[in-house]
Amino acid sequence: MSKREDINKAVLGDAPASASPTPLRPLSVPFVARIAQVGAQGLLEENQKLKAERANGRVVLELDPKRIRVSKLSNRDERGLNVKDAAFLELKTDLAQSGQEFPIKVRAIEGDAAHDFEVIAGHRRLKACLELDRETPGGFRVLAILDSNTAELKNIALKMYRENKIREDLSPYEYGRMFRKWIDAGVFKTQGEIATATRLSQPSVSVYMAVHELPREVHAAFGDPRLISVRWIHELAKALKADEEAVLELARELAKANPRPAVEAVFEALTNPSTAAAKTRRGNPTRTESFKLDNKVVYTFGRKEGRFSVKLGRLIDKGLQKELAEDLQDFLRGWLTKRMKGRRP
């Protein structure tokens, strides 16, 4: 018995599709029997209706999320499936509190001992249900529509695309990643074919793919490539073409910055790498401390990588500045002489 027959039996039982009720004979059949015959007719019609709905992919099943595998054409970036992601956490909380309002879409699969189905649409909902299944005593079931019209990869790919396009919740990076997967898997051969199938313009498809295919150093500089705007791709590409080495070097520095700059600042820096690098070299003290008297700043002390700076406030006049400079130098000479003894080679 095939997987599809197993599903049919689970949904509809063993009721034969060709069964027909005994014709009603009002004059010879008792009233109670006629009522039973009418009931049987209704059950048969409901049974046939369920079969039609199942054939058209409209039967909602309650499944173990662990038995559903992720599609290799999944268009969702892993960051969007992370329990630390705010939007994902909100979805998970809503499912736990209010239940699953919209079923995911799955197709039956063969030859996978660990899974019975593959998700077609609803990767985030499936991941949230998997998390809840792990945390909930007795498990957490996922509602799924059995989609019988996904026999080929092209249908699967376009169903995923349409679902996300309606919700408009994929980033340019994720669209570009999805289109690259389509081409690599042979679903579509060219960007032009993708444009025709999705009804996007070919330049739009190209821009999405360009966001995804920026160097990994540039992605890391932004922290999350899903934050990269399509409006920036032309200037980023122009900067990379002019001096790729300088842009990538600066991108690596920005990726290590703490705190991380705002994404707009990262874009400005990467598209003007020489200016940004000069600013980085000049820099400002990373740590500053101010000393106050009567709530007025007397001086501000800054330090960074072996450099020290003292900025005096307005309370220190020229006479005090001169005296302070002399005393400060005397102090440094004495302090360092004492500390450095025995350390010199």
List pLDDT tens digits, range 15-66: 444 444 444 444 444 545 555 555 555 556 655 655 555 555 557 788 999 9
Question: Mutual orientation of helices 153-167 and 172-184 as an angle, nearest 10°?
Answer: 170
- What sign for the dihedral angle of Cα 240, 243, 246, 248? positive
Confidence tier at 133 by pLDDT (50, 70, 90): very high
Who has greater pLDDT, 163 or 90?
90
pLDDT at position 259 is 83
User: Would you say 251 and 215 are in contact if contact means Cβ atoms under 8 Å apart?
Assistant: yes
pLDDT at position 284 is 47
Q: What percent of the chain has pLDDT over 90?
A: 23
pLDDT at position 107 is 81
Confidence tier at 220 by pLDDT (50, 70, 90): very high
Who has greater pLDDT, 251 or 77?
251
Using CA atoms, how far residue 45 sits from 16, 20, 51, 85, 108, in Å, is 12, 10, 10, 47, 26
β-sheet with 287-293: strand ranges across: 287-293, 296-304, 307-312
